[in-house]
Structures are given as structure tokens and as C-alpha cells.
């Protein structure tokens, strides 16, 4: 049995198992391929997992291990080097593990579709969160020529704080939530931004896909903003992962 899997912690929110299981069925591979979920509270458990699962042919990586997994790999593809985070691991025939990033492709492609009616270079973005997913978002924004500021709970040389958003929001009409805030089962939560300042000129993109319409997106929609959830990005990055595993 050819096995593929997702590692991260926790994994209760993941759609990956359902997505790939259905994909295997559609491709007529359900008897020879399976997709598993491995909750790893500590990335140090990865070597033992690999020993215990000799049929693994590829891995997806999610929160909180997209950066922590990198020292366990034998090399990085250019996509992972560009982003500084890994969400796909390819098992090479010679036994090496190579890290890739398909989040970049999934986000960039879906964002271009989302903004297709506007003039992309004229818009500026606030990126909420600076974890592994946020790094893929930033890399895509740079390549699209979109100016941005990253927002974190703690201000630093690289990030502004949430307290600074009210004075900036008029000039930043694309707001991208890269944090897990609002993910099921904590769906009643949302990022701390001044929703009352939003209008129909704003674009809200939430990388969260469970629920499909987070409180962040609901509040934006109430103000007339255009909204977009993370499900198209999930599908795009998953297909890219499959392509990577079989290239």
C-alpha cells in the first residue's frame, strides 16, 4: 500500500484526508493508495514515525511544523527556500527527504483569481500572522508586486502590532488572515481589526477553510467587502503536492 500523510498538531481541522481519499477513488487507486493523519505534538517524533511507516511515499506538513521540520530534511527545493517554510515532503528514490512549498503556488494562484477584477499593483495588503503560512503569502505578494505589512501580536522590526491597524487600514484594502484564529471549534473568534472601517472597496482573504465562512469573513461581508476563504488554496496546493510527489 502506498501511503501519504499529513503531519501537524492538532489535525482535527484538516480536510486533507477526505480530499486525497476521494482523489484516490476517482483515480481508481483506492486499493493501492491511502492517506493518513499523524498528530505530532513534537517534531522530534518525526524520525520514529518514518521508521514505523515504511510505506510512506510523501508527506504534507501543517501547523506548527512548517519551519520546524526543515532540519530533518536532506534538502530544499527552490520553492521552500523562497518561502522559508515547508508544507510538502518528497521521498526520493535514494532515500533523501526534500522539502517543497505548495502553499505559495496555491495562495498566489487563488489570490490572482480573487483580485482579477482589480488592478493588482494598486492595492496594499495587511498580512495577519507571521507563521509558515504567512511566509508563503508574503513571498507571493512580493512576486505580485503588492506592498504589504505583516501584523503580529508583538511589534518588532519586521511586524507591526494589531494596535497600529486602525491608523493604517484606510491605505491597506487587502486583508489576509494567515493566523489560525477563527478555525473550528473556536469559530466565535476573529482577528482584532477595526471592522467598522471596512467598505465595499476591501478584499478579505482568510486562509482558514473550516468553517468556510469565518467570523472574520462574515464581518467583512456585512460591510460590503469582497470575501474569499482558504478552500481554493487548499485544493490548489494539494494538487501541486500530488504533482511534486510524482514528478
CA–CA separation, 141 and 211 (whole Å) = 25
Backbone angles phi, psi at 126, to 5 degrees: -105, 125
d(CA 68, CA 89): 13
Question: Phi and psi dihedrals of 13, rounded to 5?
Answer: -90, -5
Catalytic annotation on 66? yes
Q: Which of 18, 51, 57, 66 is catalytic?
A: 66
Q: Which residues contact 65 (CB under 8 A, 6 or more apart)?
A: 7, 8, 9, 40, 43, 132
Under 8 Å between Cβ of 232 and 202: no
Please give the Cα distance from 129 to 68 (Å, whole number).
Answer: 17
Grid coordinates representing 53 are 511507516
Torsion on CA atoms 8, 10, 13, 17, rounded to nearest 10 = 50
CA dist., res. 85 & res. 162, Å (int): 24
Tally Cβ neighbours within 10 Å of residue 78.
9
Half-sphere exposure of residue 57: CA atoms within 13 angstroms, side-chain side:
15
- Give me the active site residues, please: 66
Amino acid at each position: 500500500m502506498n501511503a501519504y500523510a499529513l503531519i501537524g498538531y492538532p489535525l482535527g481541522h484538516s480536510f486533507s484526508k477526505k480530499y486525497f481519499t476521494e482523489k484516490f477513488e476517482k483515480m481508481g487507486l483506492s486499493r493501492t493508495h491511502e492517506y493518513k493523519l499523524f498528530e505530532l505534538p513534537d517534531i522530534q517524533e518525526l524520525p520514529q514515525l518514518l521508521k514505523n511507516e515504511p510505506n510512506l511515499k510523501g508527506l504534507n506538513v501543517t501547523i506548527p511544523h512548517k519551519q520546524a521540520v526543515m532540519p530533518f530534511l536532506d534538502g530544499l527545493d527552490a520553492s521552500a527556500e523562497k518561502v522559508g517554510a515547508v508544507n510538502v515532503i518528497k521521498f526520493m528514490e535514494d532515500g533523501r527527504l526534500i522539502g517543497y512549498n505548495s502553499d505559495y503556488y496555491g495562495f498566489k494562484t487563488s489570490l490572482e483569481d480573487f483580485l482579477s477584477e482589480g488592478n493588482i499593483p494598486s492595492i496594499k495588503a495587511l498580512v495577519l500572522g507571521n507563521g509558515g503560512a504567512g511566509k508563503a503569502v508574503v513571498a507571493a505578494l512580493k512576486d505580485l508586486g503588492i506592498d504589504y505589512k505583516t501584523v503580529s501580536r508583538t511589534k518588532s522590526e519586521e511586524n507591526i502590532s494589531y494596535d497600529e491597524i486602525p491608523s493604517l487600514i484606510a491605505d491597506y484594502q487587502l486583508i489576509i488572515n494567515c493566523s489560525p484564529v477563527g478555525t473550528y471549534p473556536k469559530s466565535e473568534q476573529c482577528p482584532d481589526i477595526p471592522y467598522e472601517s471596512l467598505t465595499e472597496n476591501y478584499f478579505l482573504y482568510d486562509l482558514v477553510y473550516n468553517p468556510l465562512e469565518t467570523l472574520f469573513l462574515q464581518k467583512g461581508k456585512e460591510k460590503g467587502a469582497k470575501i474569499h476563504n482558504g478552500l481554493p488554496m487548499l485544493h490548489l496546493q494539494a494538487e501541486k503536492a500530488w504533482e511534486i510527489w510524482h514528478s
